[in-house]
Amino acid sequence: MRLNHSPSLAKLLVLPLATLAAGAAMAEEYLTGIKWEQPPIIQPGKTDSQPPSDAVVLFNGQDLSNWNNGERWTVEDGVILCGQGVITSKEKFGDCQLHIEWSAPTPPEGKGQGRGNSGVFMMGKYELQVLDSYDNETYFDGQAGAIYKQTPPMVNAMRPPGQWNSYDIFWTAPRFREDGSLESPAYITALHNGVLVLNHFELLGDTPFNRPPRYVKHEPVGPISLQDHGNPVRFRNIWVRPLNPPKGEQVRKPYLRDGQKETPLSE
């Protein structure tokens, strides 16, 4: 017995799909009118701790030749051991991405601010606290991951003493007008061991111990500094990427394009 077959499923689908394709082809497309430059092509590190090809390596595991006062700190087995006085990078940076790894002393000694204390200073003025905050109570805006005396981190992501911690810092430098007044504040986003602890935090100014924060006009670039607080904190894998925004030129006003038809958009 022969059966009467209805039109195949494939044939039934042809018309709707063709209609959708025609509709998509006729849809208006929004265009910005900006002619963008091609973003630079870089080679990322093989791991998250290794620098990408466009990074400035501040510590290569061998010496402290890239730092002022480096002769008063020690390098052992590819690791920096905190010494006497602050060390400051010879190169200066504005907006940047900073990667740095650090380890609190083991066995732990002291408590509160006296245990594994150091600090990473952006532009030599704005401190992201380094402290052994693992099972160690202190004031919250002075623990690891805090902007000192301004805000605690959102969470405590500290690893036990002796293990390595990482900071990935995304820094927007403050801007000043010619008369010295503040045009825009500094902002920081920071990951502690891959965990977001500061999310585009707006700094109130510098981070002193003995007075309120304030902004005082300075150069648009500044060094990275590491603090000596009398504790044998260790550091490694320190690199910086200066951040440059995408470049483009507004060659025409934004517009909609529908086939050959172009409709300018008002600003």
In tens, the pLDDT along 205-222 reads 999 999 999 999 999 999
260 found inside a domain = no
Residue 13 pLDDT > 50, yes or no? Answer: no
CA dihedral 192, 194, 197, 203 (to 10 degrees): 70
Flag whether 119 is in a domain.
yes
Asked whether residue 237 is domain-assigned, the answer is: yes
Per the domain annotation, does 2 fall within a domain?
no
Query: Average pLDDT, whole number, for the chain?
Result: 91
CB of 254 closer than 8 Å to CB of 266: no
What is the three-class DSSP state of 93? Answer: strand
pLDDT at 10: 45
Q: Which CATH number characterizes residue 219's domain?
A: 2.60.120.560
Q: Is 157 contained in some domain?
A: yes
Tell which residue, 249, 220, 226, has the closest CA to residue 96: 220
Could you give the CA distance from residue 75 to residue 195 in angstroms, rounded to a whole number? 28
- Over range 35-57, report the average pLDDT: 95
Tens of pLDDT, residue by residue over 153-166, are: 999 999 999 999 99
CA distance 126 to 84: 20
Q: For the residues 61-80, what does the mean pLDDT come to?
A: 96
Domain that holds residue 114: 56-242
Question: Is 78 part of any domain?
Answer: yes
| 102 vs 56: CA distance, rounded Å | 18
Token pair, residue 63, equals: 């010496």
Cα 226 from Cα 120, distance rounded (Å): 5
pLDDT at residue 16 in the model: 52
Residue 36 covered by a domain: no
- Phi/psi region, residue 36 (left: phi>0; alpha: psi -120 to 50; beta: rest), is beta
Average pLDDT over residues 98-113: 94
Domain assignment present for 173 = yes
Name the H helices within 80-120: none
Q: Which residues contact 133 (CB under 8 A, 6 or more apart)?
A: 143, 144, 145, 156, 158
| Res 109 pLDDT > 60 | yes
- The total number of structural domains in the chain stands at 1
